[in-house]
Chain A
């Protein structure tokens, strides 16, 4: 049993590309072993530092045995050249070729004896292709070479069973050496196995294993925050990025001047996180502190690193503070007019045009939400002003949030400020969801306006391209509605948005927009339900012929049925429905036209009467419930018909000789199915 150990040494590969390359390499090498029927330790790992992509697989046999097999060659009538080629490619002679008849005709055959192949040879033959199969989200070329890689690839070390594997990958020859100094790309050293490699670097403080780096960084941070009574935000994405931009992590706690804490914390946090990859800290009350973590890639023996980073944050925060002080006093209302100079989108007017439409729309929504029309109109009017501020110029990701702070500073109503702050939320599946009605109203009108606009100028996403993130916009719209359980007439809102555009002189095809947007939003609801792990058949039936006004209803019903489908009430309901609908489906062949109701006067026995009464009761129940249907209760009531249905089937023969009676019984079953369909389209549910 041997190990395969490969190291690909390159210039610094960005974190995201590294993670992707690790996964790709892992997948490709696994497929190779499986396809070649070579046993291997499936719990193998791929490691990386910015400069090194390392593969280590052990428990691999040195040889594999290929069983003897008969290999079919060309047809006996094929030209002689084909036979010659066959002999050559199998490395054999004419004497060993024989003819044999098969179903498809007579062919030449060659019997290959069972044989042993060295795994090292297979690896040498295939590694280059395995590496070629790595796909990069972004790759580059360098110098005169044709190879595409994340960043310039400098050397390949490849070992199997402590011996070098020799292959050529583009312009690079593999060897048993690598550069031990990643900075200068010097210090060539031979390694014959993975352990000595890991050990060598560990002695230099370099950790090849990303999980180990992560643990060490986290432990060190925890040690410090526990001592200082601080907290950090669990930001996995940032931590994972940091882990993959260092090879010998050194956690350093730094601080900045406390005076900057007067600047809104989002601005400080963004400066630290996205610009500098620092980790901000919070006190026990979740207030930002002036302590922050730097994860350096070097031991800061002389204190230069701490000093340098503190100077950098000081300069950056000074800039931010300067802009904050300047922008917060600029009157939001007085600036609204200036939005006329800022294009929202080519073909959709200026931001001034947009907020006019949003104001109309949000004002209409305010009626449904029972919130103040004045307040939501104010929020709509000022919500885009921050786009003109220096702060949003510097920190585009803080649009809205910054506007909210300006509004607060200028004494706007609390709910207005929050709405401005949360107008872009949610932004996709994972993002935070606004809960306050003013925020929801503003966000809804922003998203609807954008969706209608983009569909109006025909910039719908295609199956592969969605450059304006329109899908995300629609998913966010769905989330706003279903997660906040908002009952609105979305269809009317779409129509109203279209008319807001028309009022401004846009020549939109309203009907077309409505139809396309409706399909699009319902498609997003389906994706959303899928993300929520709802069964596909439940998704399909709950969204079948769904109207835009019923997103919430469809969502709640699918959730309810998904939860109960394996429980008695769900299971029984479906069984009852299927039993009835199956008979109807078979009888359809004799084309009985149903009227939609049975005639009680034609009933011959109590079972029919009881079933009829039960159906009637259920119908009355559905008529009595208003908007606030309890879907679980409804399901329970549906399932309660089980006894009547079973009694009916056990004692009544539907297929009566008298065609009128038979038809009446079918009508009864049809009533039952219709009643059930009224709740849910059970016909698409698989049992």
Chain B
């Protein structure tokens, strides 16, 4: 059965515009993506660092996210090594957050009363960030479209007050809205430009880089250099530049992981090293907040 909607299909970019407008009206600072390679919107300092400490904070932004191991050379309709998240972070978590979220779905053409919207248990943990939270993945007719998390811990520090994080997987969401089976068929704008036109080549080339050509010897060295730099900056108590170096570490690690040159035991060790960096940065950040 195919259903028709009277309205024109919302393009990828319109979906972003609508979400930005919606959360802007809710008082969020609309930021632009962070200009470093990160694995998820959570890594943006506007979430990681700003969720720490007592000061209230509301933000929303798109974050390009890189997961080298998920690359499939552009051959798989559901998997990408580079994709977009729309991230909302509000501290302290507001009472009416569920209502805000459901209405945000309406703003992008999903009427929650016509779909089976489910809040399915999903406790979140990020070993590299030393972070943990409780919440749900939100399902829309069985498809996971959002992560909804109350941060309990970040950078090894207990969150007080608690922030709520809403992360929309934009590709998934748009595949749902536009009724597409492949991410590459998504309509990007009203001129008929597709996701494939923009990203297929880069998926192919970055998969080759991540899996085949990245110079691992250099990357191992770069990791060490960045780690050292982070530690130095932590000593100097400048948390934001230190955090930048730490994010770079994390991405270098992800590429090494994708290249398959890190064993299971090593993997745990690298993750622990990054976590230690994040924790030390978190400490410096909090000191500057009170």
Contact = CB atoms under 8 A, between A and B. Distances in A.
Interface stretch (A62-70, A134-142, A592-600): A134-142
B104 to A, nearest CB: 12
Contacts of B150: 140-142, 152
A311 B181 contact: yes
A interface bracket (residues with beta carbon within 8 Å of B): 35 or more
Contacts, number: 117
A341 interface: yes
A353 to B, nearest CB: 13
A315 interface: yes
Interface in A192-212: none
Residue among B102, B116, B176, B179 with max Cβ neighbours from chain A (10 Å): B116
A144 B161 contact: yes
Interface in A579-629: none
A50 B77 CA distance: 34
Contacts of A319: 76, 78
Contacts of B176: 308
A142 B181 CA distance: 37
Interface in A284-330: 294, 296-298, 300-309, 311-315, 318-319, 322
A183 B98 contact: yes
Interface stretch (B44-52, B140-148, B210-218, B235-243): B140-148
A186 interface: yes
B141 A183 contact: no
B interface bracket (residues with beta carbon within 8 Å of A): 35 or more
Contacts of A185: 95-96, 98-99
Contacts of A532: none
Nearest to A308: B141
B92 A183 contact: no
A382 B150 CA distance: 44
A282 B161 CA distance: 50
Given A138-B123, A304-B141, A312-B142, A245 B118 contact: yes
A342 B164 CA distance: 38
B203 to A, nearest CB: 16
Given A303-B3, A309-B141, A143 B121 contact: no
A322 B264 contact: no
Contacts of B86: none
A315 B140 contact: no
Given A305-B116, A308-B176, A313-B142, A142 B263 contact: no
A16 B121 CA distance: 10
A126 interface: no
Contact of B116 (A12, A297, A313, A322): A297
Residue among B133, B141, B152, B264 with max Cβ neighbours from chain A (10 Å): B141
Contacts of A519: none
Contacts of A305: 115-116, 141-142
A151 B148 CA distance: 12
Given A245-B118, A303-B1, A308-B140, A342 B263 contact: yes
Interface string B187-220: 0000000000000000000000000000000000
A276 interface: yes
A183 B117 contact: yes
Given A144-B92, A186-B99, A308-B115, A343 B264 contact: yes
Contacts of B18: none
B112 interface: yes
B136 interface: yes
B94 interface: yes
A245 B120 contact: yes
A184 B265 contact: no
A15 interface: yes
A19 to B, nearest CB: 13
B102 A183 contact: yes
Residue among A186, A314, A318 with max Cβ neighbours from chain B (10 Å): A318
Given A318-B77, A343-B265, A296 B152 contact: no
B162 to A, nearest CB: 5
Nearest to B56: A144
B114 interface: yes
B157 interface: no
B98 to A, nearest CB: 6
A511 interface: no
Interface in A534-548: none
Contacts of B141: 304-305, 307-309, 311-312
B93 interface: yes
Interface string A422-433: 000000000000
B134 interface: yes
Given A15-B121, A304-B3, A343-B265, A183 B112 contact: yes
A245 B164 CA distance: 22
Contacts of A184: 98-99, 102
Tell me the interface secondary structure of chain B in the complex.
Answer: loop
A11 B134 contact: no
Contacts of B136: 12
B119 interface: yes
Interface string A170-196: 000000000000011110000000000
Contacts of A245: 118, 120
A16 to B, nearest CB: 8
A268 to B, nearest CB: 15
A302 B114 contact: yes
Contacts of B121: 14-16
Contacts of A294: 142
Nearest to B2: A307
B98 A11 contact: yes
B95 A154 contact: yes
Given A138-B134, A185-B99, A343-B263, A11 B119 contact: yes
Nearest to B262: A341
A16 B95 CA distance: 24
A96 interface: no
B161 A143 contact: yes
B94 A143 contact: yes
Nearest to B94: A143
Contacts of B99: 183-186
Contact of A141 (B78, B152, B263): B152
A395 to B, nearest CB: 16
A302 B3 contact: yes
Residue among A152, A154, A300, A303 with max Cβ neighbours from chain B (10 Å): A152
Nearest to B92: A143
A346 interface: yes
A308 B95 contact: no
B143 A322 contact: no
A342 B264 contact: yes
A306 B1 contact: yes
A245 B161 CA distance: 29
Interface string B95-108: 11011001000000
Nearest to B152: A140
Contacts of B265: 343, 346
Contacts of A15: 121
17 contacts: A12-B119, A138-B134, A140-B134, A140-B162, A142-B150, A143-B162, A144-B160, A144-B161, A185-B96, A185-B98, A302-B3, A303-B3, A304-B114, A308-B176, A311-B179, A318-B77, A341-B263
Interface of B: 1-3, 76-78, 92-96, 98-99, 102, 112-121, 123, 133-134, 136, 140-143, 150, 152, 160-162, 164, 176, 179, 181, 263-265
Q: Which 6 A-B pairs have the closest CB atoms?
A: A308-B141, A14-B121, A12-B119, A309-B142, A343-B264, A140-B134
